[in-house]
């Protein structure tokens, strides 16, 4: 079991963690990235990416993450394949302390600053056909995949802000969007509901639960097998695409009772900054962003986290030097 020390410890290796690493390494902080269970993050389970700036042609999610990792390593990041199982933030960023993380096999990681980039996962329904047809008509991200359903009929499943936003977004591509919800009222904000109900291309199917996804690897998704939650009646809703939009789960289990988070578990940061409730601990990407959740916004907040970590260290070092100088007088 080894101890690894750094000025900047990054937990998570999606676009947020990688961008923090690139900026941190270039600032001389010699970052360590603990990659986590899914190195590269959510993009490694995506195929076509068309909305990450800088590439005229469609690129593949896993390829994009390989490039980010190679770039981060090239400028001096140490990439370690481990999963953090516990974390100690009790030093609270005070001079002379470090944040401590313990890896799966007992390795210890100590960082003068900590950048949390552990991301979030879309929640799935967990019904038959969902895994088999993911990427073949079933998706959990309209902003990512909506473009591939141009001119096609699609369904969006859910009743919160995400579902309504995804349905509204899909009207840019699809002539007929159907929102399918398990109850008879939406959880989404009033203003979003008003927009949804006013849209001529959106219909709502109330009180319907998805029993399973219909289709196979050859045909792709062809429909949704539905059950009426009031009458129990079965039906099949034919569709070319289905977006599961029932919320996201941020990966913040490690930080429970240690950092402030909202009711859904997202880390709370000072508005417009990546600063969490403990000085020297920064959060970036989907773990602190329930709204935008894009690779490019995650990369942006990763950059902000690194710049603020650098500033935090510089200020702490400056204060320590000042104290020494005063003591010597
Ligand atoms: P929510 O938890 O608000 O909504 C989830 C929806 O999915 C609910 O309608 C729920 O149904 C439904 N659902 C959950 N599980 C299942 C299931 N197994 N089968 C069928 N339906 C299911 O999640 P959101 O992602 O919409 O929002 C999360 C947070 O992020 C909220 O605080 C939201 O306000 C915020 N957000 C804000 C945005 C904005 O401000 N523009 C955009 C997106 C999100 P039921 O209602 O019956 O429980």
Q: Tens digit of pLDDT for each residue in 100-113?
A: 999 999 999 999 99
pLDDT at res. 45 = 67
Tokens, residue 40: 């590269």
- Residues noted as catalytic: 141, 144-145
Sequence ranges of the domains in the chain = 3-121+248-328, 124-244
Compute the distance from residue 262 Cα to the ligand 1 centre, in Å: 14
pLDDT digits (tens, 9 = 90+) for 197-238: 999 999 999 999 999 999 999 999 999 999 999 999 999 999
Supply the residue whose CA is at minimum distance from atom 29 of ligand 1: 290
pLDDT tier for residue 1 given thresholds of 50, 70 and 90: confident
For the domain spanning 3-121+248-328, the CATH number is 3.50.50.60
Alpha-carbon dihedral of residues 9, 105, 123, 153, nearest 10 degrees? 90
Distance CA 60, CA 37 (A): 20
Across the chain, mean pLDDT equals 95
> Does 225 or 327 have the greater pLDDT score?
225
Compute the distance from residue 315 Cα to the ligand 1 centre, in Å: 41
Distances from the Cα of 258 to the Cα of 91, 175, 314, angstroms:
12, 47, 25
Residue 15, pLDDT above cutoff 70:
yes
Supply the residue whose CA is at minimum distance from atom 41 of ligand 1: 291
Distances from the Cα of 319 to the Cα of 27, 96, 105, angstroms:
19, 12, 36
Tokens, residue 131: 């895994």
Residue 38, pLDDT above cutoff 90:
no
pTM: predicted TM-score of the whole model, two decimal places: 0.78
Our mutation pick for probing the ligand 1 site, out of 127, 160, 167, 261, counting the most ligand atoms within 8 A of Cβ, is 160
Supply the residue whose CA is at minimum distance from atom 45 of ligand 1: 159
What is the average pLDDT across 290-313? 96
Residue 46, pLDDT above cutoff 80:
no
pLDDT tier for residue 317 given thresholds of 50, 70 and 90: confident
Q: With pLDDT > 90 as the criterion, what percentage of the chain qualifies?
A: 84
pLDDT at res. 132 = 95
| Residue 125 CA, closest ligand 1 atom number | 18
Q: Quick check: helix, strand or coil at residue 138?
A: strand
79 bridge partner residues: 33
Do 3-121+248-328 and 124-244 share a fold?
yes
| Residue 159 CA, closest ligand 1 atom number | 9
pLDDT at res. 43 = 84
At residue 273, what are phi and psi to the nearest 5 degrees? Answer: -135, 165
Contact assessment for residue 150 and residue 176, using Cβ atoms and an 8 Å cutoff? no
For the domain spanning 124-244, the CATH number is 3.50.50.60
| Residue 262 CA, closest ligand 1 atom number | 32
Compute the distance from residue 160 Cα to the ligand 1 centre, in Å: 4
Distances from the Cα of 91 to the Cα of 86, 111, 282, 309, angstroms:
15, 11, 15, 16
| Residue 185 CA, closest ligand 1 atom number | 46
pLDDT at res. 328 = 86
Our mutation pick for probing the ligand 1 site, out of 246, 292, 293, counting the most ligand atoms within 8 A of Cβ, is 246
What is the average pLDDT across 237-256? 95
């Amino acid at each position: 079991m080894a101890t690894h020390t750094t000025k900047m410890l990054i937990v998570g290796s999606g676009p947020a963690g990688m961008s923090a690493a690139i900026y941190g390494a270039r600032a001389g902080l010699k970052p360590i990235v603990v990659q986590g269970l899914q190195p590269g993050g959510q993009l490694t389970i995506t195929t076509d990416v068309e909305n990450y700036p800088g590439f005229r042609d469609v690129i593949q999610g896993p390829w994009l993450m390989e490039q980010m990792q190679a770039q981060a390593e090239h400028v001096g990041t140490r990439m370690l394949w481990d999963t953090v199982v516990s974390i100690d933030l009790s030093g609270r960023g005070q001079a002379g302390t470090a944040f401590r993380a313990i890896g799966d096999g007992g390795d210890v990681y100590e960082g003068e600053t900590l950048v949390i980039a552990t991301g979030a996962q879309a929640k799935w329904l967990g019904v038959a056909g969902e895994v088999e047809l993911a990427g073949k008509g079933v998706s959990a991200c309209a902003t990512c995949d909506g473009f591939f359903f141009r001119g096609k009929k699609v369904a969006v499943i859910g009743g919160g802000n995400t579902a309504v936003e995804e349905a509204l977004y899909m009207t840019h591509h699809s002539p007929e969007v159907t929102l399918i919800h398990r109850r008879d009222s939406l959880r989404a904000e009033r203003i979003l509901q008003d927009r949804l109900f006013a849209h001529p291309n959106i219909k709502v199917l109330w009180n319907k639960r998805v029993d399973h996804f219909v289709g196979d690897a050859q045909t792709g998704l062809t429909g949704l097998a539905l059950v009426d939650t009031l009458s129990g009646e079965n039906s099949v809703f034919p569709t070319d695409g289905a977006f599961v939009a029932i919320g996201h789960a941020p990966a913040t289990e490690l930080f429970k009772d240690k950092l402030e988070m909202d009711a859904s578990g997202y880390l709370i940061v000072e508005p417009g900054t990546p600063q969490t409730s403990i000085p020297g601990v920064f959060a970036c990407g989907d773990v602190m962003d329930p709204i935008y959740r894009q690779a490019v916004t995650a990369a942006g907040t990763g950059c902000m986290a690194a710049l603020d970590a650098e500033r935090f260290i510089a200020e702490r070092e400056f204060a320590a030097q000042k104290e020494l100088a005063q003591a010597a007088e």
